[in-house]
Amino acid sequence: MRIIGENYRARNMDATDEMILKATQDGISLQGSPFRDIAERLGLTEDEVVERIRLMKEKGIIRRFGASIGHRDIGILANAMCIWNVPEERVEDVGRIMASFPEVTHCYERPRRSGWEYNLFTMVHSYTRSDCEEVAARISQSTGIEDYRLLFSEREFKKTGVRL
């Protein structure tokens, strides 16, 4: 998952971009001109700050710029990590099908380990555990993968997102 060589450099950011990310990663202020202070500190105009954020989004340096939701606080209490044992030759195909479910927020292939045969991971968030179970059952049906488990989170020790 590392991007190297020319491709990486072309998509990389400069020191000003990095300062903008550091200044906004904990959230912009909830006031009319939230980028004004940042712009002043960095010696830029507000338009330049916004344009740089837009470009970082376009380049894929940031996945999105927007709100992180406290999903538990608004009642989306169930959060299941569904783990699937998928035959090697079907991973590409099955991964795409799983990713197409709107309820699936993350879908990754990960390595098998000794005593650990699950190689596809999907995250499902919903209002209740039974909602999550129902989504997993539908995924199982449409992919034909029957060896799977749901791991529900019982406690959140930490959630900060990626930080610089």
Partner 1 sequence: MIHLDDTDKKILNTIQYDFPLDVRPFKRLGEEMGISEEEIIRRLERLHDEGAVRKIGPVINRNRVGGTSTLVAVNVPEHMIEEVAGYIDEYSEVSHNYLRPDKYNIWFTLSASSEERIKEILEELTRKTGLEFMNLPTVRLFKIGVRFNIK
Q: Which of residues 113-132 bind partner 1 (CB under 8 A)?
A: 113, 116, 119, 121, 125, 127
> Are 120 and 91 in contact, with CB atoms under 8 Å apart?
yes
**Min separation Cβ 91 and partner 1, Å:** 7
| Cα–Cα distance, 111 to 114 (Å, whole number) | 10
Of the candidates 26, 55, 21, 23, the residue with the CA atom closest to the CA atom of residue 36: 23
Contact residues for 48 (Cβ-Cβ < 8 A; gap 6+)? 39
Residue 96 in contact with partner 1, rule: CB under 8 A: yes
| Cα–Cα distance, 30 to 134 (Å, whole number) | 38
| Comparison of 43 and 66: residue with beta carbon closer to partner 1 | 66
Of the candidates 13, 18, 15, 16, the residue with the CA atom closest to the CA atom of residue 164: 18
Residue 5 in contact with partner 1, rule: CB under 8 A: no
Residue 99 in contact with partner 1, rule: CB under 8 A: yes
Residue 161 in contact with partner 1, rule: CB under 8 A: yes
Which residue from 5, 6, 111, 146 is in contact with partner 1, where contact means CB under 8 A? Answer: 111
| Comparison of 146 and 163: residue with beta carbon closer to partner 1 | 163
- Tell me the chain's radius of gyration from C-alpha atoms: 20
Tell which positions 16-75 bind partner 1, by CB under 8 A. Answer: 21, 24-28, 30-36, 46-47, 50, 53-54, 56-57, 59-71, 73-75
| Cα–Cα distance, 129 to 11 (Å, whole number) | 40
| Comparison of 11 and 141: residue with beta carbon closer to partner 1 | 11
Which residue from 81, 85, 131, 140 is in contact with partner 1, where contact means CB under 8 A? Answer: 81
Residue 138 in contact with partner 1, rule: CB under 8 A: no
- Joined together, the tokens standing for residue 74 give 């608004």
